[in-house]
């Protein structure tokens, strides 16, 4: 049995454009192309697409996925390995959820000032974060900016890095509170938070409007970034993205 590209797109949630791109780079070649020029996929193609999507969820880039699939011999063994990694990722997200829960509890003790000094073990704020994964993905998309960022962070002491991370966590909670109150993303208070976020990024690199919007979009598109925001409050990643987009439209070239 074969399925058209439109049917595969509907079943998988992957756009037809993406499927065509996968074909063009040799990652997922259709079983055949019909006389009307439409691509058709058989069961082997669907199974391969499942593996591609699993590896995308696990944070692999297209080049890495291609390399893995080229070396793969035993499909069942490969799926067992994907399953093992997914279970490990589930456990990591459980730790991350507990981390954010502790942060919220600590901040609620002093809701007016968000005094992070009341948290007795600040290193616990960052349990479960896979920062190496984010850096690898960013390096592929924005290599020069990541180099600037690395040079900046290399000048910081451990205490300064911890303070910046604490401030970022507190900012996420403030954004969640604004979202819960139904505050529009264009509200001056929300835009003030985004301005602080933008200025913080500018200490490492200076995004233009398109780059800042793309960064905001990555908070929803990337499964781990989305989980970080949405563990604070469901929908926060999209709220942050929309607020960043509004800021870019109003303030950046």
pTM of the entire predicted model: 0.47
User: What is the DSSP code string of 89-135?
Assistant: HHHHHHHHHHHHHHHHHHHHTTTTTT-GGG-S-GGGGGTT--HHHHH
The rounded Cα 212 to chain-centroid distance in angstroms is 14
Mean pLDDT, the chain, rounded, equals: 77
| Torsion on CA atoms 138, 248, 230, 107, rounded to nearest 10 | 100
Taking the domains of the chain in order of start, what are their residue ranges? Answer: 3-72, 88-251
The end-to-end CA distance of the chain, in Å, is 51
Range with top average pLDDT, 4-18, 156-170, 217-231: 4-18
- Which class would CATH give 3-72? mainly alpha
Share of the chain above pLDDT 70, in %: 69
> pLDDT tens for residues 132-148?
444 445 555 555 555 55
Looking at the chain, the number of H-run helices and the number of E-run strands are 12, 3
Residue 234: CB atoms within 10 Å: 12
- Percentages (nearest 5) of helix, strand, coil residues in the chain: 75, 5, 25
With the CA atoms of 130, 116, 205 and 18 taken in that order, what torsion angle do they form, in degrees rounded to the nearest 10?
A: 40
> 124 falls in which pLDDT band (50, 70, 90)?
very low
Neighbouring C-beta atoms of residue 236, cutoff 10 Å: 23
């Amino acid at each position: 049995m074969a399925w058209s590209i439109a049917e595969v797109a509907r079943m998988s949630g992957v756009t037809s454009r993406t499927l065509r791109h996968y074909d063009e780079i040799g990652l997922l070649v259709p079983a055949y192309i019909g006389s009307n020029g439409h691509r058709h996929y058989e069961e082997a193609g669907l199974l391969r697409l499942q593996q591609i999507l699993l590896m995308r969820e696990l944070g692999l880039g297209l080049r890495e996925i291609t390399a893995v699939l080229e070396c793969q011999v035993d499909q069942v063994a490969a799926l067992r390995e994907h399953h093992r990694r997914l279970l490990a990722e589930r456990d990591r997200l459980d730790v991350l959820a507990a981390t954010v829960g502790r942060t919220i509890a600590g901040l609620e003790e002093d809701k007016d000032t968000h005094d992070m000094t009341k948290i007795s073990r600040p290193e616990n704020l960052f349990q479960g974060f896979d920062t190496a994964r984010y850096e690898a993905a960013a390096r592929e998309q924005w290599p020069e900016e990541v180099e600037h960022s690395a040079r900046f962070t290399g000048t910081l002491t451990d205490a300064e890095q911890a303070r910046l991370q604490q401030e970022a966590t507190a900012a996420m909670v403030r954004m969640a509170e604004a979202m819960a109150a139904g505050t529009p993303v264009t509200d001056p208070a929300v835009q003030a938070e985004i301005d602080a976020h933008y200025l913080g990024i500018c200490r490492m690199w200076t995004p233009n409007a398109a780059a800042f919007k793309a960064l905001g979009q990555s908070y929803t598109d990337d499964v781990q970034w989305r989980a970080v925001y949405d563990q604070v409050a469901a929908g926060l990643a999209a709220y942050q993205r929309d607020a960043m987009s509004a800021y870019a439209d109003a303030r950046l070239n």
